[in-house]
Amino acid sequence: MLTDVSIIPAILATTEDEYREKIEKVSTCPGLVRPERGRRAEGWVQIDIMDGKFVPNKSVGLDVIRKYPTILQKEAHLMVEDPSKWVEDLVNLGFERIAVHAEVDRKEAMDAVDLINKLKKKSILALNPETPVEQYKYFEAVVYGVLVMSVHPGFSGQEFILASVDKVKKVKDYALPNTFVGVDGGIDENSAKLLSNAGADYLVIGEHIINGNIAENLEKIRQSLRD
């Protein structure tokens, strides 16, 4: 029985109203918010940031994110062409982990990773479904983790790509020891169990958690991992 996999809700929002509704919903969910060590929370939230160029969709900007703080620890998923230009502002907004895509210009991606590390935050390399695991080798010495995309990034509600399960296994075999491996996109109770068995350390889930009762949706996912 595997119960140590972290479940992280994802917020993909294209309007301020949508962002406010989602961040308030996850920030008040008892299944996510268990304050420890002062004002820090045990739970995490991943916030998608899209520039309309790297992916054909555009999210709310940092001005909106700044307006609605959360006790949850924050991970940013940068779906942008120029991730290094976003890093300092994200760190100033309290983001602890930042995912940069391997598919952007390699120097640009490396500059972003180096800056994240310099600012003492955790850098994560995101791999699109079609991107081979071997791209990780260029970053293996400097990134904290790998985020396997199990959908094509940019839009919520997509169907889970089953080949992602084998990709997670390959990343776990290929990556340096103790590399933190996450999966993002289209995950439900069934695919969560498969990914957990494949060795994933955390699962990023959007609609299957946020739509409806978050606490109940979380428990369904967690129960699937216990079964």
Which tokens is 158 given?
């997509």
DSSP helix/strand/coil, 211: coil
Query: Do 221 and 204 contact (CB within 8 A), yes or no?
Result: no
The span from the CA of 5 to the CA of 193, in Å, is 10
Catalytic-role residue among 63, 89, 184, 227: 184
Query: Do 106 and 138 contact (CB within 8 A), yes or no?
Result: yes
- The radius of gyration computed from the CA coordinates of the chain, to the nearest angstrom, equals 16
Is-catalytic flag, 48?
A: yes
The span from the CA of 12 to the CA of 198, in Å, is 26
Is-catalytic flag, 17?
A: no
Catalytic-role residue among 4, 17, 48, 227: 48
Catalytic residues: 48, 184
